[in-house]
């Protein structure tokens, strides 16, 4: 591979992550040790006037939003407000629904995400997704994580093993599964399965990670583990989370967007949206008056 | 606003009456089930009583004989093996591909949806058609191929892999074979120049003599032929013999059984594919897989236990099919296993039917033994289906 799809780094190596590991290091990005300024990076995904329908029902009205690169953005709002729809349009998962339609200008860098001529397969490699309920394949843990790399690249066995280990370490699940990589993935607990799905998504080397309510089916301990994971990953990937849990949005994200009935009501820094919301609807939702 | 509730003055049903009805219905269901089980047990017992004494090694080894105690079912066993394995080889790819098309590649526009609904309607209807109809269809479509070749005889159509010979019998009781160009060639007249081969196809010299010539000597006898002897035309078919029209051979039988079994396999494979949860497909799509990659890597492996079970059950039905084979092949005297794809054949149910039709009661006995053999094969197929399903589901769930 001349141009690696995986995050490259000049200084950090895996040996820094685990000093006792004496194998050949896999280059990866440094974990940020200092807090990040949410304003300091440009947009990864720009949306302008996005409208989306399911058949005749309009699910999104004129959404204009920028999603900053290498930060965590959360979408909040009551049920049925269109946040999951928006998320799914970002990597064209709605193509599987025949009645779904979207018009607008959505770009990842130079790529127009909604055009019919866009290579959806490559798009989904660059924008990964983690679903609400963990959905590991009924294969071994190794095969689950190796699924993505096997689709997109040609790797030797040792390279594949390195990538699998790297992804599982990043997803903070390596220690729990390293002795049973060949056992069925469905034998893991819910939280472990969700972290496995995150590892699987990371293994293809995406730029953006979409998470559709990743913790809603998990117990509080697993939820905490995944929130820690999101915090660890925040500077290496652009992360978009849809969540029902406002406290989670306040804990995890750098930028928040509040949706209601298909319209984007307010978007901005998380601290700003939660402490000094500009719109009354936002304030009502955050204080629990509805939703 | 009166405070009269809609439940005032309504007559209550006695709950004892309803419980009695409940009990009566349960008893009725049990007795009906018992009757069907009893009938089955009765049939099985009668077959076993008749058949087990006749289930001998001779039955398995020998071919048809006029004496019931020497008759055997071996050609029928091989015929069944050939026809059913060929049928499985043909049906499974076609059936599985159709099921994948119908389930995984959903059409986007109304023309595609119309096309799909036609296919689905046909498949569902054809699953219920009596198999005799498929026999008649096979007769027209495969045996005589809609009359395209204007003949049912194989020698007047298109053939490869066969050689024709004119066979003379010499005075020394040896057979001399003279190759001829085709089955339409004129009859060979005995002459010194003709290419003569013995039964191992080695070249020999023949001694032709006429009525007025002296009788052949001792050493000339083996290859002596009179100049007015008439040969018989025989054919030698190699293992790759193929002819059009397909005639009444193993291939035709397999194709006809394929028609019988295909709708069942398509429907059961569709059900197995439908049972794969869509979250798996969504997960694979989200990783950037094309539709074919999703099917091949995720959906098919997950649906495989169901598909295999359906396929094995469909094949066990095919083994027991008598009517289409009866129409295709008929009751003919088959004394050996099929030698090539076009060879005549018989199957086990047909052999049983043949024996039952004979007047001697001993033949009925060995027919019962044949039925037991058939049942053993069917039960083992079902057991294999259950085992495969168990083995494939256990490690990954």
Task: Kindly indicate the confidence band of residue A11, based on its pLDDT and cuts at 50, 70 and 90.
Answer: very low
Asked if the model's pLDDT at residue A200 lies above 90, the reply is yes
Using DSSP, state whether B317 is helix, strand or coil.
Answer: helix
Q: So what's the pLDDT on residue A21?
A: 44
Chain B 108-127, residues with CB within 8 Å of chain A CB atoms: 108
Q: What is the DSSP letter of B140?
A: I
Asked if the model's pLDDT at residue A16 lies above 90, the reply is no
Asked if the model's pLDDT at residue B191 lies above 70, the reply is yes
Supply A13's token pair: 């190596």
Asked if the model's pLDDT at residue B295 lies above 50, the reply is yes
CA–CA gap between residue B188 and residue B281 (Å, rounded): 70
- Contact of A122 with B280, CB cutoff 8 Å: no
Using only C-alpha atoms, chain B has a radius of gyration, in whole angstroms, of 31
Supply A245's token pair: 């849990």
Supply B235's token pair: 């054919």
Mean pLDDT of chain B: 87
Q: Do A204 and B293 make contact, defined as CB atoms within 8 angstroms? A: no
Q: Do B293 and A131 make contact, defined as CB atoms within 8 angstroms? A: no
Mean pLDDT across A32-40: 45
Q: Do A151 and B293 make contact, defined as CB atoms within 8 angstroms? A: yes
What is the end-to-end Cα distance of chain B in Å, rounded? Answer: 60
Mean pLDDT of chain A: 83
Chain B 232-251, residues with CB within 8 Å of chain A CB atoms: none
Composition of chain A by helix, strand, coil, percent to 5:
35, 25, 40
Does residue B279 belong to the interface with chain A, where contact is any CB pair within 8 Å? yes
Residue among A180, A181, A205, A198 nearest A126 (CA): A205
Please state the three-class secondary structure of A163-213 as a single string. Answer: HHHHHHHHCCCHHHHCCCCCCEHHHCCHHHHHHHHHHHHHCCCCCEEEEEC
If you count DSSP H runs as helices and E runs as strands, how many of each does chain B have, helices first? 12, 5
CA–CA gap between residue A205 and residue A149 (Å, rounded): 9
Q: So what's the pLDDT on residue A130?
A: 94
Task: Kindly indicate the confidence band of residue A14, based on its pLDDT and cuts at 50, 70 and 90.
Answer: very low
- Contact of B347 with B252, CB cutoff 8 Å: no
Q: Where are the domains of chain A?
A: 43-286
Which CATH superfamily, name and number, covers A43-286? P-loop containing nucleotide triphosphate hydrolases (3.40.50.300)
Any alpha helices (H) in chain A, and if so which ranges? 14-17, 83-90, 120-126, 141-152, 157-170, 174-177, 190-202, 220-233, 246-252, 270-275, 280-286
Task: Count the Cβ atoms, other than its own, within 10 Å of residue B207.
Answer: 18
Residue among B279, B281, B287 minimizing CB distance to A124: B287
The pLDDT > 90 percentage for chain B reads 36
Mean pLDDT across B283-307: 92
Task: Kindly indicate the confidence band of residue A26, based on its pLDDT and cuts at 50, 70 and 90.
Answer: very low
Q: What is the pLDDT of residues A165-186, one digit of tens each?
A: 999 998 889 999 989 999 999 9
Q: What is the DSSP letter of B57?
A: H
Q: Which of B103, B110, B283 to mutate to test the interface with A (most CBs of A within 10 A)?
A: B283
Q: Which of A91, A96, A135 to mutate to test the interface with B (most CBs of B within 10 A)?
A: A135
* A255-260, strands of its sheet edge to edge: A127-130, A208-212, A238-242, A72-76, A255-260, A263-269
- Contact of B216 with B208, CB cutoff 8 Å: no
**Residue B393 contacts by C-beta under 8 Å, 6 or more apart in sequence?**
B305
| DSSP β-ladder status, A100-108 and A263-269 | unpaired
Q: So what's the pLDDT on residue B382?
A: 86
Mean pLDDT across B17-43: 93
Using DSSP, state whether A42 is helix, strand or coil.
Answer: coil
Q: So what's the pLDDT on residue A22?
A: 45
Asked if the model's pLDDT at residue B25 lies above 90, the reply is yes
Asked if the model's pLDDT at residue A214 lies above 60, the reply is yes
Q: Rounded to 5 degrees, what are φ and ψ at A112?
A: -80, 115
Asked if the model's pLDDT at residue A129 lies above 50, the reply is yes
- Contact of B225 with B190, CB cutoff 8 Å: yes
Supply B359's token pair: 């007047």
Asked if the model's pLDDT at residue B115 lies above 60, the reply is yes
| DSSP β-ladder status, A238-242 and A72-76 | parallel
Supply A230's token pair: 């999101």
Selected residue with higher pLDDT from B219 and A26? B219
Supply B44's token pair: 């099985």
Q: What is the pLDDT of residues B261-281, one digit of tens each?
A: 999 999 999 999 999 999 999
Residue among A182, A177, A218 nearest A199 (CA): A177
Domains along chain B with CATH numbers:
58-148+248-393 (1.10.3720.10), 158-241 (no CATH)
Task: Kindly indicate the confidence band of residue B42, based on its pLDDT and cuts at 50, 70 and 90.
Answer: very high
Helices B300-319 and B250-274, axial angle in degrees (round to 10):
140
A71-75, B143-147, B288-292, B334-338: least confident range? B143-147
Residue among A208, A138, A140, A133 nearest A168 (CA): A140
Supply B243's token pair: 């002819």
Mean pLDDT across B378-384: 87
Residue among B279, B287, B302 minimizing CB distance to A151: B287
- Contact of A183 with A141, CB cutoff 8 Å: yes
Mean pLDDT across B300-309: 90
Does residue B67 belong to the interface with chain A, where contact is any CB pair within 8 Å? no
CA–CA gap between residue B396 and residue A257 (Å, rounded): 40
A40, exposed or middle or buried, with CB in 10 Å at 0-12, 13-18, 19+?
A: exposed
Does residue A152 belong to the interface with chain B, where contact is any CB pair within 8 Å? yes
Any alpha helices (H) in A91-189, and if so which ranges? 120-126, 141-152, 157-170, 174-177
Asked if the model's pLDDT at residue A10 lies above 70, the reply is no
How close, in Å, is residue B274 to chain A by CA atoms? 15
Asked if the model's pLDDT at residue B384 lies above 90, the reply is no
Does residue B287 belong to the interface with chain A, where contact is any CB pair within 8 Å? yes
- The winner for highest mean pLDDT among A110-124, B31-45, B241-255, B318-332 is B31-45
Asked if the model's pLDDT at residue A75 lies above 60, the reply is yes
- Contact of B303 with B262, CB cutoff 8 Å: no
Q: So what's the pLDDT on residue B391?
A: 83
Residue among A93, A98, A201 minimizing CB distance to B282: A93
Q: Do A147 and B297 make contact, defined as CB atoms within 8 angstroms? A: yes
For B30-38, the CB contacts below 8 A with 24+ separation are none
Exposure string over A146-183, b if 16+ CB within 10 A, otherwise e: bbbbbbbbeeeeeebebbbbbbbbbbbbbebbeeebee
Using DSSP, state whether B273 is helix, strand or coil.
Answer: helix
Mean pLDDT across B39-65: 88
ipTM: 0.80
Residue among B279, B288, B396 minimizing CB distance to A204: B288
Q: Taking CB atoms and an 8 Å cutoff, what residues of chain A touch B284? A: 137, 147
Residue among B284, B289, B396 minimizing CB distance to A184: B396
Q: What is the pLDDT of residues A96-128, one digit of tens each?
A: 888 889 999 999 888 888 888 888 899 999 999
């Amino acid at each position: 591979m001349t141009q690696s799809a995986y995050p490259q780094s000049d200084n950090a190596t895996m040996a820094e992550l685990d000093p006792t590991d004496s194998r050949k290091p896999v280059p990866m990005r440094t974990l940020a040790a200092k807090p990040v300024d949410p304003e300091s990076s440009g947009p990864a995904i720009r949306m302008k006037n996005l409208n989306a329908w399911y058949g005749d029902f309009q699910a999104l009205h004129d959404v204009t939003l920028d999603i900053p690169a290498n930060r965590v953005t959360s979408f909040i709002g009551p049920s049925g407000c269109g946040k999951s729809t928006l998320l799914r349009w970002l990597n064209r998962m709605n193509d599987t629904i025949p009645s779904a339609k979207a018009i607008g200008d959505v770009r990842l860098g130079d790529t127009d995400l909604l055009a019919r001529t866009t290579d959806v397969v490559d798009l989904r490699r660059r924008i990964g997704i983690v679903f609400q309920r963990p959905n590991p394949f009924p294969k071994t843990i190794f095969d689950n994580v190796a699924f993505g790399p096997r689709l997109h690249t040609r790797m030797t066995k040792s390279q594949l093993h390195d990538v699998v280990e790297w992804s599982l370490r990043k997803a903070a699940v390596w220690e729990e599964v390293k002795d049973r990589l060949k056992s069925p993935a469905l034998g893991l607990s819910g939280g472990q399965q969700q972290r496995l799905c995150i590892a699987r998504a990371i293994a293809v080397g995406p730029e953006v990670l979409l998470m559709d309510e990743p913790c809603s089916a998990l117990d509080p301990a697993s939820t905490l583990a995944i929130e820690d994971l999101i915090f660890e990953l925040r500077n290496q990937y652009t992360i978009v989370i849809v969540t029902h849990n406002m406290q989670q949005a306040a804990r995890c994200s750098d930028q928040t967007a509040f949706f209601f009935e298909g319209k984007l009501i307010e978007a901005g820094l998380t601290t700003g949206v939660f402490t000094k919301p500009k719109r009354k609807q936002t304030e009502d939702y955050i204080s629990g008056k509805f939703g | 606003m009166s405070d009269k509730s809609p439940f005032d003055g309504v007559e209550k049903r006695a709950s004892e009456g309803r419980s009695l009805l409940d009990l009566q219905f349960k008893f009725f269901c049990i007795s009906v089930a018992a009757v069907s089980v009893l009938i089955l047990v009765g049939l099985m017992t009668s077959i076993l009583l008749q058949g087990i004494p006749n289930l001998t090694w001779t039955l398995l080894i020998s071919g048809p004989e006029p004496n019931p105690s020497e008759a055997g079912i071996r050609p029928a066993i091989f015929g069944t093996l050939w026809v059913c394995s060929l049928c499985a080889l043909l049906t499974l790819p076609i059936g599985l591909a159709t099921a994948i098309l119908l389930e995984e590649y959903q059409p986007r526009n109304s023309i595609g949806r119309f096309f799909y609904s036609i296919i689905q309607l046909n498949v569902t209807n054809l699953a219920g058609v009596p198999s005799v109809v498929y026999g008649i269809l096979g007769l027209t479509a495969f045996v005589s191929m809609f009359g395209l070749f204007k003949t049912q005889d194989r020698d007047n159509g298109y053939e490869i892999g066969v050689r024709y010979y004119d066979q003379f019998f010499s005075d020394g009781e040896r057979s001399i074979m003279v190759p001829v160009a085709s089955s339409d060639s004129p009859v060979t007249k005995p002459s010194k120049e003709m290419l003569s081969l013995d039964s191992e196809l080695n070249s020999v010299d023949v001694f032709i003599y006429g009525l007025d010539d002296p009788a052949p000597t001792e050493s000339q006898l083996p290859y002596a032929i009179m100049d007015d002897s008439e040969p018989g035309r025989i054919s030698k078919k190699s293992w790759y013999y193929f002819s059009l029209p397909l005639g009444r051979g193993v291939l035709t039988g397999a194709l006809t059984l394929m028609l019988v079994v295909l709708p069942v396999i398509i429907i059961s494979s569709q059900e197995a594919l439908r049972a794969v949860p869509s979250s798996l497909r969504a997960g694979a799509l989200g990783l950037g897989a094309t539709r074919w990659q999703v099917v091949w890597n995720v959906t098919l492996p997950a649906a495989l236990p169901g598909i295999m079970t359906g396929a094995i059950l469909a094949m066990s039905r095919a083994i027991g099919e008598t009517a289409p084979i009866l129409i295709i092949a008929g009751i003919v005297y088959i004394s050996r296993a099929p030698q090539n794809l076009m060879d005549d054949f018989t199957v086990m149910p047909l052999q049983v039917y043949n024996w039952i039709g004979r007047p001697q009661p001993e033949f009925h006995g060995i027919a019962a033994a044949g039925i037991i053999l058939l049942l053993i094969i069917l039960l083992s197929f079902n057991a294999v289906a259950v085992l495969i399903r168990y083995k494939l589901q256990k490690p990954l769930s």
